[in-house]
A and B are shown apart, each in its own frame.
Chain A
Amino acid sequence: MQLSTKHLLGIKDLQLRDIELILSTATQFKEVLQRPIKKVPSLRDTTIVNLFYENSTRTRISFELAEKRLSADTLNFSASGSSVSKGETLLDTVNNILSMKVDMVVMRHSATGAPHFLAKHIPVAIVNAGDGINEHPTQALLDAFSIKEKLGKLEGKKIVLIGDIMHSRVALSNIYLLKKAGAEVMVAGPPTLIPKYISQAFHVRVEYNLRKALEWCDVANVLRIQLERQNQVLFSSLREYSLAYGVNKKLLDSLNKEIVILHPGPINRGVEINSDVADSNQSIILQQVENGVAVRMAVLYLLSNKQSFT
């Protein structure tokens, strides 16, 4: 029983049975997190470095907690305050850390493909915690876990991703996963934020009208405007974005059904989502965060077997 890949670089490389294995293992780890002593000894022989070249709250804490719950030793590296400011390259940084006998690397980097590059040069397992505008596989996995928890299954369910699709690694990973799992996927947002040929490339529906998108879907995954990744003006103002594409309670109440709301965080209250939605009982945003630890525990557990006492 193991994954078909040595690393978790993206959902693109995973098979459906890998995804199912991760989600079912995550269910058992979620039970561990309800116990009085929330620890299992499975990874006590493993040292993991969290290599974060980009800011993060949720993902980094979630990975660190997952590692500690598995009894692994953790090292946290953030680029600011390290020798990266003195010009040390990515490969040098990693090789130096690996010389101290680190067994796994969890990495977030602003350059698309950074973990793929690293995977060619170092022998240990790598978990991609987000690379540029490419993928964020553990986020898609925990989104899928949360939807499955709420609705029972993914197959046949209609999920819309709303917002800055073009720059969102959460969107791409979700599209890969949901398509593999047999769900129906739609992307919605302003035309400037949706890649031109996305429907042909990934067989997803495209919708520029928010109301129509919400009327179609069972689940809405609301994404943040990735201002830090846009180097051109792609919409007139945040206020105008929120008027056309912000999800608010009045809009949700006017639909003839109750849809489930997800958001990967951090939320820009009043922009892509209003507080009355984010804090409502249709939103499973906090459950996503809770499930994130269990899903990451499952990923680290399943990837750890690749080292053996040779």
Chain B
Amino acid sequence: MQTILNKYQLQITIERLACQVIENYVDLSSVVLIGLQPRGIFLADKIFEQLKKIKPGVQFQYGKLDITFYRDDIRKELHEPNQTEIPFSLEDKIVILIDDVLFTGRTIRAALDAILSYGRPKKVELCVLINRRYSRQLPIQPDYCGKSIDSIISQKVKVEWDKEEVNLY
């Protein structure tokens, strides 16, 4: 096992990601955070908390998205869906998809399909904590990235929120 981000680095990275997400946008009322189920929501929660600290007056819209019904491996294995909560339209909004680890890119491809059910966003950007470089199976890259790492397919990246560290197994 190898620790990619320790407790201190994890905290600093989350703070940096939150700052990066908002530095490009003047009108924050049209920025929407969408955390991907099942594991991206923990990172999205932390980024949402951080944004509330940096910009206390702003009402950020925050939703959770489950992509089980949009997966492309449905004939290999059926997954149990988690909750989707997007109680607002995404029409003309800037959507920031948030997930913990970007690996093959298939989850994000499914997420792009899923969010089209909520309207036509103005722009979609991707924010991930860990980018597993050179492991992509689709042409998808992050806009905001905590850390890029090299890994082989048999390895697993685990974001362990209880221990507050990110480890490579």
Contact = CB atoms under 8 A, between A and B. Distances in A.
A28 B89 contact: no
A248 interface: no
A50 to B, nearest CB: 21
Nearest to B110: A41
Given A35-B118, A302-B78, A40 B69 contact: yes
B79 interface: yes
A42 interface: yes
Interface stretch (B80-88, B135-143, B157-165): B80-88
Contacts of A309: 75
B82 A28 contact: yes
Given A35-B117, A39-B117, A41-B69, A25 B75 contact: no
A41 B70 contact: yes
Interface residues of A, number: 25
B168 interface: no
Looking at chain A's contact residues, the main secondary structure is loop
A76 to B, nearest CB: 24
A37 B116 contact: yes
Contacts of A32: 69, 84, 117
Given A36-B118, A39-B117, A28 B75 contact: no
A2 B69 CA distance: 15
B100 interface: no
B68 interface: yes
A37 B118 contact: yes
A309 B76 CA distance: 9
Given A32-B69, A36-B117, A41-B69, A305 B74 contact: yes
A227 to B, nearest CB: 41
B84 A40 contact: no
A92 interface: no
A39 B78 CA distance: 18
A304 B76 CA distance: 11
Interface string B4-44: 00000000000000000000000000000000000000000
28 contacts: A1-B77, A1-B78, A2-B78, A24-B80, A25-B80, A25-B81, A28-B83, A28-B84, A31-B84, A32-B69, A35-B86, A35-B117, A35-B118, A36-B89, A36-B117, A37-B117, A37-B118, A38-B117, A39-B117, A40-B117, A41-B69, A41-B70, A42-B69, A305-B74, A305-B77, A307-B75, A308-B76, A309-B75
The 9 A-B residue pairs with the shortest CB-CB distance, nearest first, are A40-B69, A37-B117, A28-B81, A305-B78, A42-B69, A1-B80, A35-B117, A31-B84, A1-B78
Interface of B: 66, 68-70, 74-86, 89, 113, 116-119
